[in-house]
Amino acid sequence: MKLKADLFPYPVLNSGMNDYKNSKFSSDISLEKVSPSKLKIIVKFHLKDKMLEQFINEEKAIYAVHLEGVASSYRKLFKTAKFQNELTITLDANEISGKVELNTMILANETIENYANQNFNDEYYGDSFIVAKLDKGDILAFDIMAELNIKFANKEHPNAKSMIRVAAINDVYMDVNIDGDIILVNLPKNAHKAYQVMSRSDQAKQNMLLVTIVLPALTYVIERVKNSDFNKGSQWVPTLFELLNKVGYDEQTILTADAMKVAQQLLDAPVEDALYEFYKGAELVYD
């Protein structure tokens, strides 16, 4: 939704309005690709107004970002933490894609009574104008609305997990074999039994397998690729490089990349969600 000056019955700080003098509010927006289906929006806020700065320092006001999908029902408000002037928002392909409207603002974080500001434009409001009351959530400042076109990779394309198979071996150590047409992860027999059961279990357990089995295996594979220690004729190789290209790597840039980070990018950054979801399930058991 595009915010307009006539929406407000009180002075609001905005570059396209004359409600304030000698005050500024703006925001810088940047995008960072995390993985083929995850994206970060990073917003940095810039404010020049002593009274509004005081409100933020006292937590009477906060910086906020409102996201709205133009062709979807996605609508969310994100707020900064205490003493933060930057906000990072992670979007997932399952939540939203396409055109997104982004509004950055300063919101009242509590009821504010008798709001006076020396930077109110006296040509419009006189010398001693006072806003009798602002309710929590009222907008004190906003920047020009930004339109983003969020595009994620097609989910039907091959993914990192499709290159990997898990098998049992008569050994106490896990190993990874990349000499064939697939990446084969060999697990000790009891571990493999547990893997088979957990892979058919709830999503939290499946995600833990991703972190504990697939992630280290893929990290190992990427290290081998970086060292040119692999068979370029294997069928898994073009699939891997297709996925690497999607997250911004080619045959040259992968050589200096961090293998662990790259593996996490290919698996849609699974560590935080996997551990937290598993922790929540364990917490329910022991409560």
Question: What 3 state SS string does 168-184 have?
Answer: EECCCCCEEECCCCCEE
The CATH number assigned to the domain holding 28 equals 2.60.40.10
- Whole-number mean pLDDT of the chain? 86
Q: Judge whether residue 53 has pLDDT over 60.
A: yes
In a domain, 81, yes or no: yes
Domain range for 252 is: 160-286
Please tell me whether residues 121 and 195 are part of one structural domain.
Answer: no
| Average pLDDT score over residue span 61-82 | 86
Give percent of the chain with pLDDT exceeding 70: 89
Q: What radius of gyration do the chain's Cα atoms show?
A: 26
- H helix intervals, the chain: 50-57, 122-125, 189-198, 203-209, 215-226, 236-246, 259-266, 271-286
Q: Bridge partners of 158?
A: none
Q: Judge whether residue 214 has pLDDT over 80.
A: yes
Please tell me whether residues 179 and 112 are part of one structural domain.
Answer: no
Q: Among 126, 150, 174, where does a domain finish?
A: 150
Q: What is the pLDDT of residues 146-192, one digit of tens each?
A: 888 876 654 444 566 678 889 999 999 999 999 887 899 999 999 99
Nearest Cα to Cα of residue 100 among 85, 123, 78: 78
Please tell me whether residues 116 and 9 are part of one structural domain.
Answer: yes
pLDDT bracket for residue 282 (50, 70, 90)? low
In a domain, 155, yes or no: no
| Average pLDDT score over residue span 198-205 | 81
Please tell me whether residues 126 and 230 are part of one structural domain.
Answer: no
Please tell me whether residues 177 and 114 are part of one structural domain.
Answer: no
Check if the beta carbon of residue 264 is closer than 8 Å to that of residue 210: no
Segment among 188-197, 217-226, 266-275 with least mean pLDDT: 266-275
In a domain, 72, yes or no: yes
Please tell me whether residues 165 and 143 are part of one structural domain.
Answer: no
Count of structural domains, the chain: 2
